[in-house]
Chains A and B, each alone.
Chain A
Amino acid sequence: MTARLSSIDVNEIAGDWLAREDARPLTADERGELDAWLAVDDRHLGAYLRLRAASRRLDRLGALKTDQPQTTPATEPPPRRAFFPVNRRLAAALAIGAVFASGLGVWASAQPRSYHTSVGEMRRVTLRDGSVLELNTNTVLKVAYTSEGRDVWLERGEGNFIVAKDKLHPFVVHVGDATFTAVGTVFSVRADHAGPVRLTVSEGVVSLKAAPPARPCYVAALQEASLQPKGPAPQIQTVSFTDVNRRLAWTDGRIALAGETLGQAAEEFNRYNDRKLVIAPAAASARVGGVFRTSEVSTFARTAAASLHLVMSNQPDGDILLDVESGAS
């Protein structure tokens, strides 16, 4: 039996088979090869059938086109992203932003405005152009809109930025000397404690400039870049849609764990709560998964203790300690 392929590779191979079938009838040898490939793993068959369904659906487009001659000719690119959910959100945000802008005129000033969240707090701010800032726990950022552009300084913490398109006014997030520049895109930047600054792009492209005089590099949707302060060039890696969702679980008030160590999980909870979770070194390397509310640290501790056979105790200062059972090594 061959090694198990990743779901991405499975999907790609399934797509290649489908494209070949679409072009011409398969030879008997190819047919046999495809049948064997489909039989070896359920996921192969599933991916293949799923893409066939999508292809069938696209075939409908040709049929509908002929039914409805009043629509734009096929060679002309149709309007982009009519159903894009983020754009829907943007449209709503834009409407709200416009009301505030006309009513109050607050944003006419170029004076930076500051937003912050305390530990455990999350906040969503709609700016006058319809862009949305989502602030995670313990975050400080400043915003200045001028005739030149839209600048945000992330001084501490983590923000997710849903940027309204405006080519004339670049949207730039500054972290120290580094800049992240977007035109109509969704991305988040995390800059807490001593670790690297992490950029996650959900949609579009972000131009990252480590510090002058560094040259910009481009980070696209479903990529992540980490940047060491004063370190070498940013590291860029591809991430899955699921990873991006997990990174953004906080916008739902949740923490999504996927096999992190208990120590890492505690660090994550401790970002959101004054009541800290302390893990004894002997217990810190157990791996955990699941989705939790950011505020429910004691629920997490209780369930982790129960499923990993740990002892949970309350410390005099209110912190929670998880340790291996005494007598165990």
Chain B
Amino acid sequence: MRTYACAREGGPIYERGEIDDWFARHVLPHEGDLRRWLSRFASDLDIDDIVQETYAGMARHYGQVREPRAFMFAVARNAVIATLKQKRIVRIVAIADLDSFPLVDGAETSEQSLVGREELEMLQAAIADLPDRCREVLTLRKIEGLPQREVAARLGLSESTVEKHVSAGIRRCADWFASVREAVQGGASASPQTPRKRKP
């Protein structure tokens, strides 16, 4: 077990709000590319595991990263290698494959190019893709900015149900954002992830 860089300047790193901005602007937009690369070269691993490890690894170096995209692929590569070592499956694709990640192309574009109306459309599309109830809840919470209690009252739901919808909605939207870049590039056939149910 490793610990995250924390306890400096008042509390864990995730309590500093700017890290969310950084992930939202410079990391999340590359997640689709990362997943595509992983599904080519690490399809025998749980890609969600690797992505989660990657975010944690990046958080540990937050503030020192100049090229988030390149760094993201490097952290993911290390996570793949570490996971392969733990697994008993014999890997017969050369690790060299892992070096073929697309560092050069589309380097640091991220979503800075998405401004105004374009970004608005993308966010709307993400929300539009949600199931009805979930969409209503997220619209009232995130766009209208109503407090949870009021959202619950307006829709005739319990607060805990509203909370469940917010949780599911954010998870779905995260998957949606992670798939968009691929769509913009007209890439391979993968479609955005829809949320999964908890395994029985």
Contacts and interface: CB of A to CB of B under 8 A. Distances in A.
A50 B122 contact: no
A7 to B, nearest CB: 3
Nearest to A35: B12
Interface string B115-156: 011011111111111000001001101111100100000000
Interface string A83-94: 111101100000
Contacts of B166: 18-19, 22-23
A8 B199 contact: yes
B124 A289 contact: no
Contacts of B2: 42
B90 A288 contact: yes
Nearest to A74: B143
A9 B183 CA distance: 27
A7 B89 CA distance: 19
Nearest to B145: A62
Interface string A236-274: 001011100110110110001111000000000000000
A40 B174 CA distance: 23
Contacts of B167: 12, 15-16, 18-19
Nearest to B23: A53
Nearest to A160: B189
Interface in B15-47: 19-21, 23-24, 27-28, 31, 39-41, 43-47
A199 B2 CA distance: 42
Given A54-B28, A83-B180, A46 B53 contact: yes
Interface string B162-183: 1110111011011001011011
B14 A57 contact: no
A38 to B, nearest CB: 7
B125 A50 contact: no
A128 B186 CA distance: 22
Nearest to B194: A221
B104 interface: no
A250 B10 CA distance: 52
Interface of B: 1-4, 12, 14, 19-21, 23-24, 27-28, 31, 39-41, 43-49, 51-57, 59, 88-93, 116-117, 119-129, 135, 138-139, 141-145, 148, 159, 162-164, 166-168, 170-171, 173-174, 177, 179-180, 182-184, 186-194, 196-199
Interface of A: 1, 6-12, 15-16, 18-20, 22-24, 35, 38-62, 64-65, 67-68, 71, 74-75, 77-86, 88-89, 186, 202-203, 221-222, 238, 240-242, 245-246, 248-249, 251-252, 256-259, 286-292, 300, 303-304, 306-308
Given A15-B168, A49-B19, A249-B43, 8 more contacts: A8-B196, A15-B171, A16-B164, A38-B14, A49-B14, A78-B128, A83-B184, A89-B189
